[in-house]
Amino acid sequence: MPQWEIDHSLAAIQYWAEIIKVIPGQSPAIVNVAGIAIDNAWASIQSSPDGGNKVQAHSRGGSLTYGALGMVAIGQMGFSAEAYIPSQLPMTRKIGLAPVTIHEIAHQMGIASTIDGYEASPHFARSDKWLDGPFAR
């Protein structure tokens, strides 16, 4: 892995570390990050038996999957090797590794992308809620 990929990945982790302050005595989120040989990126949102996600379950002593609360996989998407500079606007014509990783870590923590049909709530919807809808088997 080239040094710039390590630097950009660490910048994404640092982004969330600055936002989420771990309470002394509490465990931080444990996320596995992997490289994949396809042109895509994804994050798992592993649900727990009570319908919450693994991050929520871990705070109550839930079990880990492969030693982590979730997984982020980053593919070969032609990322820019230029230094990462936080910005609301693209800084190059290529995709930024750090912004993609920041985005996928958000999904892994339970920030979903599909909110159709949900009432406003201060709580995240169950990650398996869609199974009750039109896609139920």
> What is the C-alpha separation between 113 and 76, in angstroms, rounded?
22
Range of the domain at 15: 3-132
**Considering the domain boundaries, does residue 137 fall inside one?**
no
Report the side by side order of strands in the sheet with 41-43.
31-35, 70-74, 41-43
Asked if pLDDT for residue 7 goes beyond 60, the answer is: yes
- Nearest CA-CA partner of 41 in 99, 101, 91, 98: 101
Q: Given this model, what pLDDT does residue 120 score?
A: 58
**Considering the domain boundaries, does residue 102 fall inside one?**
yes
Residue of higher predicted confidence among 42 and 58: 42
Q: Can you tell me whether residue 3 is helix, strand or coil?
A: helix
Paired tokens of 12: 């994404």
Highest-scoring range by mean pLDDT, 8-12, 26-30, 66-70, 133-137 = 8-12
**Considering the domain boundaries, does residue 41 fall inside one?**
yes
> What is the C-alpha separation between 76 and 121, in angstroms, rounded?
36
pTM: 0.70
**Considering the domain boundaries, does residue 114 fall inside one?**
yes
**Considering the domain boundaries, does residue 82 fall inside one?**
yes
Residues 16-45 have a mean pLDDT of: 83
Domain count, the chain: 1
> What is the C-alpha separation between 96 and 114, in angstroms, rounded?
23
For a pLDDT cut of 70, what percent of the chain falls above it?
66
Residue of higher predicted confidence among 91 and 22: 91
* pLDDT tens sequence across 60-100: 566 677 777 778 899 999 999 999 998 888 889 999 999 99
